Amino acid sequence: MHSEEYVPTASNSITARLAIENKPGMLAEITSTIGKHGGNIGAIDIVRARDSVLVRDITINTRSDDHARTIITHLGDLKGVRVVDVSDRTFLLHLGGKIEVNSKVPLRTRDQLSMAYTPGVARVCEAIHDRPDDAHRLTIKSNTVAVVSDGTAVLGLGDIGPEAAIPVMEGKAQLLKEFAGVNGFPICLDTTDVDEIVDTVVRMAPVFGAINLEDIGAPRCFEIEDRLRERLDIPVFHDDQHGTAVVAVAALINALKIVDKTPESLKVVLVGIGAAGTAVTHMLQNMGIENIIGVDRQGAVTRDRTDLNKAKRAYAAQTNPHNLTGSLSEVMDDADVFIGLSGPNVIDVDDLHRMADDPIVFAMANPEPEIRPEKAYPHVAVMATGRSDYPNQINNVLCFPGMFKGALACRATDITDGMKLAAAYAVADTIDDASRTADYIVPSVFDKAVVDRVAEAVEAAAHEEGVARTRS
């Protein structure tokens, strides 16, 4: 699909400041030029009005950087219009970062200073020294999550390094705060070595109530998570694996009600056997789906393949019961469900035609899905992506804020399969029978009910599974 076919969105929006000759008809000419070249106009503001010139800010949603440039060039070519300035609203929003640390207690008098800081603080330090567990009560630890990445699998952008990963980790911290009231701190490590990552996280763990591993590529993420869970007594949760699995399972529970199919009857093709793909597969199996065919860049993952790493060999042993071989397109025949956790544009309309009746397609690669909804809609019964700008956003943000809120509230030592399943049902059940449609299988990320429902379900499951440290 060419970028010309995409819908313009706020993620590529610009504000153009134009100096416009002050005479009737000019604004109409400008708006029709923008429309003719495929831009969507948002706000139009007057910045300055002189007798002969009006300066206006016009916000335009575009499809891409190139598209924005084209529109600006055409506006600049109009007689009586001068482009004064163009700003990218997404970059403006990121200037100086998206989060900050705030003080919770007043610090205006000497008395306050002597309690919050030296000498009073020393008594609190000594109390924690006597009873280390008091760190939960007397410090930021109880409500703070480290969002840790090595920058190796950032969204679907791949290995872009720790600095380039910061905006996403800041974003996760911001979501934790906004949606769950939990503090998240972005930590991007300058190493991809498993031992170094594990040791670093263990050494900084005293400050945190939980660890959210983020955008760490497979297969290293599996070992890092396993080893940290073993060494730490606070929850360690790899969001790309389990947050994604929780939300994908929630979405599938509701999608199956739309097409009236059962988990046992399904053929599922899942492309991208990395962190997310592997965890989603395990959780689908836990919900009773047996016929899952995993596909990597070489094609179907089978027990006969000799090129598989340890994680994929384990995957092959547990999936593809009929040992299907071949390319992604070849194994799509009669599939009821396609799940993409790989990269952009890996399937086409022809692949959708090969699927069974009423196909369900979850194209979850970010930021560019395996197939764009515009292209898929006419050929599928249910379509979902990970993006904010289409219906059915299957994104781990529906899980991780509530998951951490619930786990921190009961001071859980771990996050168990039971807690994840409870979270999946909590997300799915947010949509009742009357409101469920093909375009509404998962709640909106802005649905305020979701976080608390997930948190409550997670906390209850933590008590049931014996990992809560508070009394129920």
Ligand X SMILES: NC(=O)c1ccc[n+]([C@@H]2O[C@H](COP(=O)([O-])OP(=O)(O)OC[C@H]3O[C@@H](n4cnc5c(N)ncnc54)[C@H](O)[C@@H]3O)[C@@H](O)[C@H]2O)c1
Ligand Y SMILES: O=C(O)C[C@H](O)C(=O)O
Q: How many residues bind ligand X (CB under 6 A)?
A: 28
Residue choice 62, 319, 396, 430 for contact with ligand X (CB under 6 A): 396
For residues 217 to 256, the per-residue mask of contacts with Mg ion, x marking binding by CB under 5 A and - elsewhere, is -----------------------x----------------
In whole angstroms, the minimum distance from the beta carbon of 395 to ligand Y comes to 5
CB 241 within 8 A of CB 225: yes
- Taking a C-beta distance cutoff of 8 angstroms, is the pair 144, 182 a contact? yes
Q: Is 370 annotated as a binding residue?
A: no
Is 386 one of the binding residues for ligand Y (CB under 6 A)?
A: yes
By beta-carbon proximity to ligand Y, the closer residue of 199 and 389 is 389
| Choice among 36, 117, 377, 448 that is catalytic | 117
User: At closest approach, how far in Å is the CB of 466 from ligand X?
Assistant: 29
Please give the torsion angle defined by the CA atoms of residues 331, 420, 341 and 296, in that order, rounded to the nearest 10 degrees: -50
Which residues in 331-360 contact ligand X (CB under 6 A)?
341-343, 346
* Residue 275 contact, options ligand X, ligand Y, Mg ion, none, Cβ 5-8 Å cut-off depending on partner type: ligand X
Q: Is residue 370 part of the contact set for Mg ion (CB under 5 A)?
A: no
Residue (215 or 225) nearer to ligand Y, CB: 215
What tokens were used for 401?
């804020």
Burial code (b: 16+ CB inside 10 Å, e: under 16) for 26-61 equals beeebeebbeebbbbeeeeeeeeeeeeebbbbbbbb
159 marked as binding residue: no
**Is 395 within any annotated ligand binding site?**
yes
What does the alpha-carbon distance between residue 39 and residue 471 come to, in Å, rounded to a whole number? 56
Known catalytic membership, residue 172: yes
At its nearest, how many Å lie between ligand Y and the CB of residue 381? 24
Q: Which positions from 197 through 226 interact with ligand X, judged by CB under 6 A?
A: 217-218
Tell me: does residue 366 bind ligand Y (CB under 6 A): yes
Interface with ligand Y (CB under 6 A), residue from 150, 170, 225, 240: 240
Nearest-approach distance from CB 244 to ligand X, in angstroms: 4
Q: Is 392 annotated as a binding residue?
A: no
Q: How far apart are CA 321 and CA 289, in angstroms?
A: 11
Pick from 144, 254, 392, 395 the residue near ligand Y by CB under 6 A.
Answer: 395
Closest CB 439 distance from ligand Y, rounded Å:
20
| Catalytic, out of 172, 267, 375, 405 | 172
Looking at the Cβ atoms of 263 and 402, the one nearer to Mg ion is: 402
Residue 225 interacts with ligand Y (CB under 6 A): yes or no: no
Which amino acid is it at 279? A
Q: Is 215 in the site for Mg ion (CB under 5 A)?
A: yes
Name every residue whose Cβ is closer than 8 Å to that of residue 169 and which is 6 or more positions away in sequence. Answer: 147, 148, 149, 186, 187, 188, 214, 215
> Could you say which of Mg ion, ligand X, ligand Y, none residue 296 binds, taking C-beta under 5 to 8 angstroms by partner kind?
ligand X
Q: Based on CB atoms, which residue is closest to ligand X, 60 or 451?
A: 451
Among 18, 72, 153, 451, binds ligand X (CB under 6 A): 153
Task: Give least dist CB 23 to ligand X, A.
Answer: 49
Query: Does the active-site annotation cover 312?
Result: no
Which chain residues interact with ligand X by CB under 6 A?
153, 155-156, 217-218, 240, 244, 271-277, 295-297, 341-343, 346, 364-366, 386, 394-396
Binding-site residues for (S)-malate sit at 366, 395
Which chain residues interact with ligand Y by CB under 6 A?
155, 168, 215, 239-240, 366, 386, 395-396
Q: Any idea which residues carry the catalytic annotation?
A: 117, 172
